[in-house]
């Protein structure tokens, strides 16, 4: 086993509010130090005087030091494949994970706490703080409360523990990871999870043959993926979990594109564990016209020209069900919503769900106000527009394009083009297929979208 023995100094004790000011890492092969990394870190915030008095690290000392993001790659590379070891590992490991989280990266290592390990291997001491433990064991500490001094003292303590646990059986028992509370299928390598980011996107579960068995989406794909391995699950969820042998993902930058891509991928791949949104053909639709009396009339029919349909459906029965929902929600007349065998007043009029348009009691002008509101509820408020959203990284924006009331597709562009003409943004859009699921996703998004993110033309 390889070990990364770590100590950090910080601006305070809270990993969310405070920042790292110094880090020391010593790579140990179980016998000796084989590599090391020591650096002050610019915390990008002031160091309080009492912290400087404790550590000796001042604002002046860190002013020209690298910021964490500038050394982040070095730390990942150096500690790759090593067990993260620290005295009170929850503190050091927690701070480092939080620093990476702020960069949009999940830092995950097996970890080992020498406080807990010392209590097991070296019992009988009143205190297991690093200072007291080293004093009792005759371990000298140079530069106490500096990362390098404390880390080297931890190295000596760890070597003493290794001497009493030559087969590393106790060490293996005390080595933990971020996934202990989860349940994995036989043969699943949890290291696969380490690179899944806490970002919006779509994820794919593959079985042992490499077949995609499930497609999902989330604003935080890491959190959602981990939830599939929780203990509390249904029989179907357990069956899915046990089939997972590999995981892939695609970042989307925002939830809207995650929803659109998920829907598209489910239709294309047809994963066995996805039940919703599998329909790929939408041959029927809802249409509107104005009859001889001037009333807006809705009806369902087979789609000949996709552009003419207000909304599409997979079957005639589904189209009729959608039409009935529109009718009931808006108190529209059954006779004017496709029921052809009504010669007099419709049934809705008798139960006060129709205001009498079927018998001329409600004028066309009055009825059409309500009917138009119903049409507006299933259509976009603009025929031509683009939705501008977050990209997959800071130097990118996304665009979702709707033209003539139809979904064209989505794409990504550099922020410098954010105020560009739609013709320029159009060049960044990859064509996609419009359908009822896409229309539902976009309409739902528009209900809460900020107008500043909508570019109409």
pLDDT at 306: 57
Name the helix (H) or strand (E) containing 84.
strand 83-86
pLDDT at 144: 86
Domain that holds residue 445: 385-456
Indicate if 124 and 87 belong to the same structural domain: yes
Indicate if 355 and 397 belong to the same structural domain: no
* N residues, the chain: 457
Indicate if 168 and 33 belong to the same structural domain: yes
Q: Is residue 279 part of a domain?
A: no
Q: Is residue 145 part of a domain?
A: yes
Q: Which of residues 174, 207, 227 is at a domain's end?
A: 174
Q: Which of residues 244, 269, 294 is at a domain's end?
A: 269
Indicate if 21 and 133 belong to the same structural domain: yes
pLDDT at 86: 98
Q: Is residue 185 part of a domain?
A: no
pLDDT at 156: 98
pLDDT tens for 218-242 read: 999 999 999 999 877 788 999 999 9
- For residue 441 the two structure tokens come to 């996703």
Instruction: Identify the sign of the CA torsion 105, 110, 114, 116.
Output: positive
Name the helix (H) or strand (E) containing 159.
helix 147-164
Q: In the chain, how many domains are there?
A: 4
Indicate if 79 and 111 belong to the same structural domain: yes
Indicate if 112 and 245 belong to the same structural domain: no
Residues 6+ positions from 422 with CB-CB distance below 8 Å: 384, 386, 455, 457
pLDDT at 246: 97
Q: Which of residues 126, 142, 174 is at a domain's end?
A: 174
pLDDT tens for 314-352 read: 788 888 998 999 999 999 999 999 876 788 899 999 999
Indicate if 41 and 130 belong to the same structural domain: yes
Q: In which order are the strands placed within the sheet that holds 3-10?
A: 33-40, 20-28, 3-10, 83-86, 111-113
pLDDT at 308: 74
- For residue 220 the two structure tokens come to 């935080």
The phi, psi pair for 414, rounded to 5°, reads -75, 140
Indicate if 304 and 244 belong to the same structural domain: no
pLDDT at 261: 98
Q: Is residue 373 part of a domain?
A: no
d(CA 75, CA 27): 11
Q: Is residue 181 part of a domain?
A: no
Indicate if 140 and 43 belong to the same structural domain: yes
Indicate if 245 and 165 belong to the same structural domain: no
Q: Is residue 25 part of a domain?
A: yes
Q: With both helix axes pointing from N to C terminus, report the angle between 364-378 and 316-329 in degrees, rounded to the nearest 10.
A: 120
pLDDT at 262: 97
Q: Is residue 125 part of a domain?
A: yes
Pick from 230, 256, 254, 255: which is nearest to 241 by CA?
A: 230
∠ CA 238-240-242, rounded to 5°: 70
Residue ranges, the chain, pLDDT below 50: none
pLDDT at 305: 67
- For residue 2 the two structure tokens come to 């390889």
Instruction: Return the CATH number at 67.
Output: 3.30.420.10
pLDDT at 104: 82
Indicate if 102 and 164 belong to the same structural domain: yes
Pick from 448, 430, 307, 446: which is nearest to 387 by CA?
A: 446
Q: Is residue 408 part of a domain?
A: yes
d(CA 95, CA 168): 27
Cβ proximity of 344 and 273 under 8 Å: no
Indicate if 205 and 325 belong to the same structural domain: no
């Amino acid at each position: 086993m390889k070990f990364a023995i770590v100590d950090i100094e910080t601006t305070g004790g809270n990993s969310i509010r405070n920042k790292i000011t110094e880090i020391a890492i010593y790579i140990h092969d179980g016998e000796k130090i084989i590599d090391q990394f020591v650096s002050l870190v610019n915390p990008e915030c002031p160091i309080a005087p009492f912290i400087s008095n404790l550590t000796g690290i001042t604002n002046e000392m860190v002013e020209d030091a690298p910021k964490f993001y500038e050394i982040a790659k070095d730390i990942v590379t150096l500690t790759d494949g090593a067990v993260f070891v620290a005295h009170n590992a929850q503190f050091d490991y927690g701070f480092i994970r939080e620093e990476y989280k702020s960069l949009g990266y999940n830092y995950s290592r097996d970890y080992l706490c020498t406080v807990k390990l010392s209590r097991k291997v070296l019992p009988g001491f009143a205190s297991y703080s690093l200072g007291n433990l080293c004093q009792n064991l005759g371990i000298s500490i140079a530069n106490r409360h500096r990362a390098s001094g404390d880390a080297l003292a931890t190295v000596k303590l760890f070597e003493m523990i290794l001497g009493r646990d030559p087969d590393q059986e106790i060490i293996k028992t005390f080595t933990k990871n971020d996934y202990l509370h989860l349940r994995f299928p036989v043969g699943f390598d949890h290291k696969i999870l380490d690179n899944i980011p806490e970002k919006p996107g779509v994820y794919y579960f593959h079985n042992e043959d490499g077949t995609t068995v499930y497609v999902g989406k989330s604003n935080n794909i890491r959190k959602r993926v981990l939830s599939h391995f929780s203990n509390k699950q249904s029989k179907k969820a357990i069956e899915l979990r046990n089939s997972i042998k590999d995981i892939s993902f695609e970042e989307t930058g925002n939830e809207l594109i995650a929803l659109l891509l998920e829907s598209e991928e489910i239709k294309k791949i047809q994963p066995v564990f996805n039940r919703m949104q599998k329909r790929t053909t939408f041959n029927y639709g809802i249409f509107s016209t104005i009859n001889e009396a001037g009333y807006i009339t809705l009806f369902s029919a087979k789609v000949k020209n996709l552009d003419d349909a207000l909304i599409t459906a997979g079957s005639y029965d589904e189209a009729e069900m959608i039409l009935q929902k529109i009718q009931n929600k808006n108190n529209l007349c059954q006779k004017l919503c496709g029921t052809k065998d009504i010669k007099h007043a419709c049934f809705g009029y008798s139960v006060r769900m129709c205001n009498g348009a079927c018998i001329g009691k409600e004028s066309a002008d009055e009825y059409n106000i309500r009917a138009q509101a119903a049409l507006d509820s299933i259509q976009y408020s603009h025929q031509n527009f683009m939705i501008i959203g977050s990209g997959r990284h800071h130097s990118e924006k996304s665009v979702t394009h709707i033209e003539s009331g139809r979904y064209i597709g989505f794409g990504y562009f550099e922020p410098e083009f954010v105020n560009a003409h739609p013709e320029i943004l159009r060049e960044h859009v990859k064509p996609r297929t419009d359908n009822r699921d896409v229309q539902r996703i976009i309409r739902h998004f528009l209900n809460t979208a900020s107008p500043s993110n909508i570019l109409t033309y």
